[in-house]
Structure 1
Amino acid sequence: MTAHNEGPITIHPVKGKADKREFVELAFRLNRGDPAWVPPLKGEAFDLLTPGKNPWFEHGRAQLFLARRNGRTVGRISAHIDDLALQQPVEQGMGPGTGNWGLLEAEDAEVAHALFVAAEDWLRGQGMHRSLGPLSISIWDEPGLLIQGFETPPTIMLGHNSPLYRGWVEAEGYKPAKQLLNYGVEVRDGFPPLVNRIVAAGEKNPRIRIRKVDKKKFDAEAQLILGILNDAWSDNWGFVPLTDSEIAFVGKKLKDIVFEDLIRVAELDGQPVAFMIVLPNINQLLIDMDGSLLPFNWARLLWWLRKPKSKRLRVPLMGVVKSLQNSRMASTLAFMMIEYIRRDAVRDYGVEEGDIGWVLDDNQGMNAVADAINATVNRVYQIYDKPLA
């Protein structure tokens, strides 16, 4: 054991700005040697943790903790409670008494243990009897611990962590609650004949219209899409509704990386009933930026955003209103949106591959769509839970 791994571990609740900076910076220090880790923009990492910046805090509360040994910061964790999640049905994964943890970084198993003790004590003190995680604050941010797919850097808005963390989490008595799958798919040469036949049949149906979003009406389009999302996902495991202020926040965050031809809304009889959002993989730039837009990275980013070339795209969100789910119409609309975006993405952005995720491991409809387009799982995230005695 090296000298700096000896000595007592002390746990400190994050209090001021300096502590919060240490909380953010630690992830950079511990992950620097991992070629697949993509440093987030530090400004965004701070905003995620800051009431007044992140509207999650309008219905949630969090305590961040730092672990120190011999005067050095050697670990971090968040413990948090979402009041909207407490109101969800227990059988959907959240519900009364369920608190969360996330944002774990630790130098070794001993540090991880001390952090879990602190996070769980805080949750107990808040009246929680169950701990579910990891969630990077909200279920909508970066849920789950990566347990498969460490070799390649994640695409935009997908998490990455050390392979060691799984053993450390499970050693604390956490059991798997749900898996989230991310699929990779080759898109350059198109999809199998069955998919093309479904798309062609849909094109002959006068009730269906697939349209691009109108960026000039961005706020209204974001509200429309995320409104469909709240309906489409409302029966999903882990669902917590997005509030109006969160919808506005997500819209603002995505505005610069949203391209009209990479997002589709499906209308049936003139009513919007489904959507699909595809984002260019900004991570291919962030991986070299070390979390900062200064001095010249902002110029690189702006230049790239004018017309991004991206070999890989990510589908972070798609949804069909509940009234159509598990119907033939739902899969027709899904395949039409996927195919229309695929054509534009290959032609205009140089795209060769797509990422679709997260998909709940028991979401039969989405897993069937992934199978039909010959997609294969390339990353698996696991959410764990544990009763707090």
Structure 2
Amino acid sequence: MAAHSEGPITIRRVENKADKREFVELAYRLNRGDPAWVPPLKNEVFDLLTPGKNPWFEHGKAQLFLARRGERTVGRISAHIDALALAQPAEQGMGPGTGNWGLLEAEDEEVAAALFAAAEDWLRAQGMHRALGPLSISVWDEPGLLIEGFAEAPTIMLGHNSPLYRGWVEAAGYRPAKQLLNYAVDIVDGFPPIVERIVAAGEKNARIRVRRVDKRRFDAEAALIMGILNDAWSDNWGFVPLTDSEIAHVGKKLKALVFEDLIRIAEVDGEPVAFMIVLPDINELLIDMNGSLLPFHWAKLLWWLHKPKSRRLRVPLMGVVKKLQNSRMASTLAFMMIEFIRRDAVRDYGATRGDIGWVLDDNQGMKAVADAIEARVNRVYQIYDKSLG
């Protein structure tokens, strides 16, 4: 990342389409030299930032900022406030008076410091007394700053940033609030014998049924899964409930990446109580597209989506209803879903590795599952906070 430290820095708000285009394009310029950075599709970034396209704006508001030296754009940041996050208990990480920032890109530390100051001033003016970040833009999008695991490109829906940013964030007075872990696990040869025994016992249990999703009933299945998610994660640090319109939006966005044999719903005594979503790693394709499907990338994408061959898969979401958590049944269901999907993924998709994340650093249940299948932490994300008093 080249530094251009000459001249004073000016900060301006993003106020029109040209400004927003500048905001989006900057990430592609500053990260072009990083072989592990995966350029997101630009239309998806614009949708993330646009009220009417992103239902988050039904309960949140955001201000985007650009930093310039002379005529050169040298940085960007978002500041945002989520009314649903403000309504959460403070002991769960969000809560009253907590605003957020994210989407940081900066050429050097001086630029980053000016951007933090602008975001913090905006949050204070909105009545916030604490800044928590980075979130891009919701906690459900790309939370956390990558602090370990820079050598390898991330899998789908995981963020990536310059290793310099950690020092700049901490120099601005931010302190670690929570770590999010991503685990990698080799899946070709199966899991240790103890996991195989648990799965075999579960398969003999007449109370348990683990089924694939039915894509013909996509909307109903998505609503069912997200209902389990909102219950399963409701006590987690940083939890903000997904609204009906957000659930519909996520479903629409991910529908092309949903394959029935990569998503499982577990039922106990006929009641759906757990789910696991696995997505093929479209980043393997996007890394060479520079954020655009034109002129010919769309054909490659459509061909891949027909039946992807994906070396890596990612588990972005899984959950067990609260009433079963910390029970033997919960771990049985988790291992069964993981193993059933593993078998199909290796056979039908050519997958050799799975990623599981994000996992909160205090989620002992998921960490125990990861340890049991001999997964290893390969990326660590950190969320920071700072008092604005």
TM-score (norm 1): 0.99
Give matches, 1:127-276, under 5 Å: 127-276=127-276
Letter aligned with residue 149 of structure 2? G
Give matches, 1:1-389, under 5 Å: 4-389=4-389
2:182 & 2:3 partners in 1: Cα distance?
40
- 1:177, 1:383 within 8 Å by CA — same for their partners in 2? yes
Write the deviation string for residues 117-167 of structure 1: whole angstroms up to 9, x where unpaired: 000000000000000000001000000000000000000000000000000
Structure 1 residues 51 and 3: CA distance shift in structure 2, 3 A: closer
1:110 & 1:386 partners in 2: Cα distance?
19
- Corresponding residue pairs, total: 388
Letter aligned with residue 58 of structure 1? E
1:220 & 1:295 partners in 2: Cα distance?
36
2:378 & 2:3 partners in 1: Cα distance?
38
- 1:208, 1:266 within 8 Å by CA — same for their partners in 2? yes
- 1:4, 1:70 within 8 Å by CA — same for their partners in 2? no
CA apart distance, 1:3: 9.5
CA apart distance, 1:5: 2.0
Letter aligned with residue 199 of structure 1? V
- The SS at the match of 1:332 is helix
- 2:3, 2:108 within 8 Å by CA — same for their partners in 1? no
CA apart distance, 1:84: 0.1
- 1:10, 1:69 within 8 Å by CA — same for their partners in 2? yes
- 2:55, 2:245 within 8 Å by CA — same for their partners in 1? yes
- The SS at the match of 1:185 is strand
- 1:277, 1:317 within 8 Å by CA — same for their partners in 2? yes
Letter aligned with residue 200 of structure 1? A
- The SS at the match of 2:143 is coil
- 2:182, 2:358 within 8 Å by CA — same for their partners in 1? yes
Question: Can you give the 5+ residue segments of structure 2 that lack an aligned partner in the other structure?
Answer: none
- The SS at the match of 1:150 is coil
2:311 & 2:31 partners in 1: Cα distance?
25
- The SS at the match of 2:38 is coil
The percentage of counterpart residues that share the same residue type is: 84
CA apart distance, 1:186: 0.4
TM-score (norm 2): 0.99
1:268 & 1:296 partners in 2: Cα distance?
47
1:236 & 1:5 partners in 2: Cα distance?
42
CA apart distance, 1:209: 0.1
1:186 & 1:143 partners in 2: Cα distance?
25
Write the deviation string for residues 334-384 of structure 1: whole angstroms up to 9, x where unpaired: 000000000000000001000000000000000000000000000000000
1:117 & 1:205 partners in 2: Cα distance?
58
- 2:4, 2:107 within 8 Å by CA — same for their partners in 1? no
1:3 & 1:372 partners in 2: Cα distance?
45
2:205 & 2:187 partners in 1: Cα distance?
25
2:114 & 2:346 partners in 1: Cα distance?
49
1:316 & 1:137 partners in 2: Cα distance?
17
1:348 & 1:234 partners in 2: Cα distance?
34
2:206 & 2:236 partners in 1: Cα distance?
31
Write the deviation string for residues 274-329 of structure 1: whole angstroms up to 9, x where unpaired: 00000000000000000000111010000001110011100000000000000000
- The SS at the match of 1:189 is coil
CA apart distance, 1:4: 4.2
Write the deviation string for residues 171-222 of structure 1: whole angstroms up to 9, x where unpaired: 0000000000000000000000000000000011100000000000001100
- 2:99, 2:131 within 8 Å by CA — same for their partners in 1? yes
Letter aligned with residue 42 of structure 1? K
- The SS at the match of 1:5 is coil
CA apart distance, 1:70: 1.5
2:311 & 2:57 partners in 1: Cα distance?
36
Letter aligned with residue 156 of structure 1? I
- The SS at the match of 2:10 is strand
1:131 & 1:302 partners in 2: Cα distance?
41
- 2:185, 2:374 within 8 Å by CA — same for their partners in 1? yes
Write the deviation string for residues 35-72 of structure 1: whole angstroms up to 9, x where unpaired: 00000000000000000000000000000000000211
